[in-house]
Amino acid sequence: MNRLMLAGAAILALSSVPALAQEFQGPYVGAQAGWNHDIAINDDKDAVVGGVFAGYDQQVTPNVVLGVEGGFSLGASDRIGPSGVNNASIDPHYAFDVSARAGYVVGERNLLYVRGGYANTRARLTHDIAGGTFSDNRTYDGWFVGGGVERKLLDNVSTRIEYRFNDFGSDGSKFQRHQVLAGIAYRF
């Protein structure tokens, strides 16, 4: 019985100790890669994506983190839509985003977070018509939401995995993207 009481007291004492260092505080830069699933022009396409990001986090309480982040990414072989007469396709070239995130620190080294913000992608829109092919570069503006988990590996190095849903249908067209991204960051 005494051992159980001592073990319970030790667990309670360890769980109530405040964090000695702010784990998710300050500026950071990183790289990420993952999977895109684009949906546009009555077709969909899976592609590999990779990019960079930079941001700043403020740990406002021992367990609550607020931050901002910007990112830039490129997709590989992600032409969407069938080709042929009277068809259209979209070939995304690059994308960038700006977002805010809010998170909760679990166990001092893990951050569970949600994110949302502005998303933009530059793409070539191609129409195949009976008289030939018409091609034009377009910018698609939209928004995205998502969430993920980040884990501190070392004092200045963390890894993360994240899901995002993007909607680029600001001009009345249907162009959506699901993403799963894994990244690594260096904190200054």
CA distance 162 to 185: 13
CB 102 within 8 A of CB 111: no
Q: Mind listing the domains of the chain with CATH numbers?
A: 22-187 (2.40.160.20)
Looking at residue 15, its pLDDT comes to: 46
In the chain, the amino acid numbered 172 is G
In whole angstroms, what is the distance from residue 181 CA to residue 162 CA?
Answer: 5
Is the pTM here over 0.75, yes or no? yes
Q: How many helices (H) and strands (E) does the chain have?
A: 1, 8
Lowest mean pLDDT of 49-53, 116-120, 124-128, name the range.
124-128
Does the pLDDT of residue 46 top 90, yes or no?
no
pLDDT at 171 over 50: yes
Q: Which residues contact 11 (CB under 8 A, 6 or more apart)?
A: none
Mean pLDDT of 68-75: 94
Query: Longest C-alpha distance within the chain, in Å?
Result: 88
